[in-house]
Structure 1
Amino acid sequence: MVAREHVHYFGAGPAPLPTDVLEQASRALLNYKDKGIGLCEISHRSPDANEILANTKAALANLLDIPDDYEILFLQGGGSGEFSAVVYNLVSIWVEKRRARAEKELGHVSQDKVLERLRKEVEDELKLDYLVTGSWSLKASQEAARLVGAQHVNVALDARDANHGKFGRIPPESEWRLTPRKQNGGAALAYFCDNETVDGVEFPFFPQSLEGDDAAPVVADMSSNFISRKVDARKYAVIFGGAQKNIGNTGITIVIVRKSLLPPVSKYASADLLRALNLPVGPVVLDWPTIAKNNSLYNTLPIFDVWVAGQVMSGLVQTYGVKKISGQEEISNEKAKMIYKTLDKYPDVYSVVPDKSVRSRMNICFRVGGGDAEKEKGFLAGAEKMGLLGLKGHRSVGGIRASNYNAVSVEGAEKLVAYLEDYAEKA
């Protein structure tokens, strides 16, 4: 039997969790708060469940300095579910804004006249901007096209065009083809994946071209770099991410959404209106206003998963104090720096996949021996003998991937560096 302390896991997700959180979880599963029942057995509408929700929200708000005019939601369906939810919710808002404007400008006319104008605006002007920098943003753009039609999806950037058909670079913003901003509104949303788990590409900073009061609502998928660095939440309309990378175990998705996108400040277009415009009506379990109104408890929320996320984030709050998430960012940067430095030291043995300007701190993707299958197989076998697990690259791209999530210790990163050194010296 292999002891947990003898293994360092670098899998891309589900990812490792802090050992102390798992030890607490094992007790909570059996007997929560000495009540004689386990955490998975309590009602999601009980006072205990509401306390867990409140504590988890507070920990996340503390870590990321989330302003009061943002709502934190817990849903199911993973990041892929939010690919759809983003479209359902933000297209609905775009339509409602256009409907209100049409009624104001047209005056006392029949609803048929309003509907006629809306149909033309949807046909001519509805656009959803996507920055495609890797496999996950590509999937998100494809889901948007499936839901509203490819004619409404503007791939403002396909990074493969500048990199011989492969992901691994982010071209300068001057080359992006964003929907032009207009006085009465441009794109319904501007979407990007902050860190591409498969391709090892991470945005080094918030894109300047997405800033400004007249910019489209910015949506960021942060599934794989959530709570790993400081972000300015005010720059985003929506931030979402699955929990199973840095935050917790598989089962919940976290959405941070600007309250101005939720009733009663604004209304969503009615289902009847969306159907009349041949636009999709989303399932209620992905409807952010419904989830917010019900404190994330519209349907049965897996409270155990929320509790785990809360324990992880509360641990970071206690560890880093006034530094908040900047403390974790320092550690994440330190680990990534030492691994990349070692890979760069042996260019004849290792080749990092993405361009140096966009290397992910979370998912370090590289090839061994120029991508030689047998050499990479041997590299992985040797790593496993050293207790370094989960290093195989995604099935779609192959190679090696060391996922440097928060629960990967500095000691684990140092052990990986030692193995990289030893393998290169013997190669």
Structure 2
Amino acid sequence: MERTTNFNAGPAALPLDVLQKAQKEFVNFNDTGMSVMELSHRSTEYDAVHQKAKSLLKELMDIPDDYDILFLQGGASLQFSMLPMNFLTPEQTAHFIVTGAWSEKALAEAKLFGNTSVTATSADSNHNHIPEADLSGIKDGAYLHITSNNTIFGTQWKEFPNSTIPLVADMSSDILSRKIDVKTFDVIYGGAQKNLGPSGVTVVIMKKSWLENENANVPKMLKYSTHTKADSLYNTPPTFAIYMLSLVLEWLAENGGVEAAERRNQEKADVLYGTIDASGGFYAGHAAKDSRSHMNVTFTLRDSSLTKKFVEEAKAAKMTGLGGHRSVGGCRASIYNAVSLADCEKLAQFMRKFQQENE
């Protein structure tokens, strides 16, 4: 069977090696006579999966010992409300750098629990760049929230802000795509369905000292301490998604780790942006060059009437997920870790051919 090249923004491509290993173990995991989906989350067999996922994530991201690793549910969207619910009091202010739809949603949720401030925003240019933020006036505050990569608009932070207050990052769409210093952040969170695995599990990496300020008047299931004390096993976790996460992390480690992934992602992005820039305006990137994402390449066609034809012909050529979000229009190629350089070269070749046939 010929595989379709998957450029979907999420749920996104998974490594073929991972899918094949999961297929092989699907009915009989580690000679248990059961699928991993059937294992009790209290069993020793599942615990090995759980601890392997935590250990690999800690190793790959170089997570210090004073951070907790949580596997939660509800996606990054639940974190938008769970964070201020636990750590934003009515007399405090949460600061936001707004760079797209997801940071806008995080801001809206925080407003329900306390004061908020927009430190910088790129909204006036339809979020085509990462704005400069003057943080000199921020001496106190609950936290500063950023979205490290913006799937819809195709922008990405290249250097993170030097914040004097706790820094929180939604890294759903570029976690493990490049080397970062975890110690820069007090909280990192992300849904798995882009670089980490299938949808259904959310990774939260939180400095342990943060829990000292946790709001006691929060329902038990929505308190981070509930899950840290129970090692993310307070209730039944998404066991199969965590198993798949462990396989993806294992695949990443076997393929050179985060450093090698970062090099591959640079090469992949260069192929597509190079094609856009060399098109003489037939293709135009949405993001400013100094803010271009290495995960989501957004572009429009000179003649917008050709967009539907582009997407349909790409699909006929076994490439899917290239339609742009309505906020930007045009096209979007999501090139997460599991998307190969050969996949991007295939798309670039198609783009050049399509231009020749439609200029």
Residue number in structure 1 paired with 2:340: 409
SS at the partner of 1:227? coil
Distance, in Å, in 2 between the alignment partners of 1:196 and 1:169 is 10
Counterpart selection for 1:180 from 123, 126, 138:
138
Distance, in Å, in 1 between the alignment partners of 2:288 and 2:168 is 24
**Which residues of 2 match residues 207-286 of structure 1 at below 5 A?**
207-208=161-162, 210=163, 215-262=164-211, 266=212, 268-271=214-217, 281=218, 283-286=219-222
Gaps of 5+ in 1: 96-121, 272-280
Q: Is the 8 A contact 1:228 1:328 kept in 2?
A: yes
Matched, 1:52 2:49: yes
Q: Which AA in structure 2 matches 1:389? A: T
Q: Which AA in structure 2 matches 1:41? A: E
Deviation at residue 156 of structure 1 after TM alignment = 1.0
Q: How many residues align?
A: 358
Q: Is the 8 A contact 2:97 2:133 kept in 1?
A: no
Distance, in Å, in 1 between the alignment partners of 2:326 and 2:230 is 39
Residue number in structure 1 paired with 2:153: 199
Q: Is the 8 A contact 1:127 1:179 kept in 2?
A: no
SS at the partner of 1:148? coil
Deviation at residue 173 of structure 1 after TM alignment = 2.7
* TM-score, L = length of structure 1: 0.81
* TM-score, L = length of structure 2: 0.96
Gaps of 5+ in 2: none
Distance, in Å, in 2 between the alignment partners of 1:187 and 1:267 is 13
SS at the partner of 1:13? coil
Counterpart selection for 2:286 from 353, 367, 385:
353
Residue number in structure 2 paired with 1:189: 143
Counterpart selection for 1:24 from 16, 21, 24:
21
Counterpart selection for 1:15 from 4, 12, 16:
12
Q: Is the 8 A contact 2:18 2:247 kept in 1?
A: yes
SS at the partner of 1:173? coil
Deviation at residue 18 of structure 1 after TM alignment = 0.9
Q: Which AA in structure 1 matches 2:309? A: G
Percent identical among aligned pairs is: 39
Counterpart selection for 1:84 from 81, 87, 107:
81
Q: Is the 8 A contact 1:179 1:187 kept in 2?
A: no
Distance, in Å, in 2 between the alignment partners of 1:240 and 1:354 is 24
Q: Is the 8 A contact 1:12 1:403 kept in 2?
A: yes
Deviation per CA, 1:362-394, whole angstroms, max 9, x where unpaired? 000000125x1x200111111112111110112
Aligned CA distance change for structure 1 residues 67 and 297 (closer, same or farther; 3 Å): same
Matched, 1:160 2:152: no
Residue number in structure 1 paired with 2:242: 306
Aligned CA distance change for structure 1 residues 288 and 269 (closer, same or farther; 3 Å): closer
Q: Which AA in structure 2 matches 1:270? A: A
SS at the partner of 2:204? strand
Aligned CA distance change for structure 1 residues 87 and 342 (closer, same or farther; 3 Å): same
Deviation per CA, 1:332-373, whole angstroms, max 9, x where unpaired? 110001110010001321010011110111000000125x1x
Aligned CA distance change for structure 1 residues 187 and 179 (closer, same or farther; 3 Å): farther
Residue number in structure 1 paired with 2:107: 141
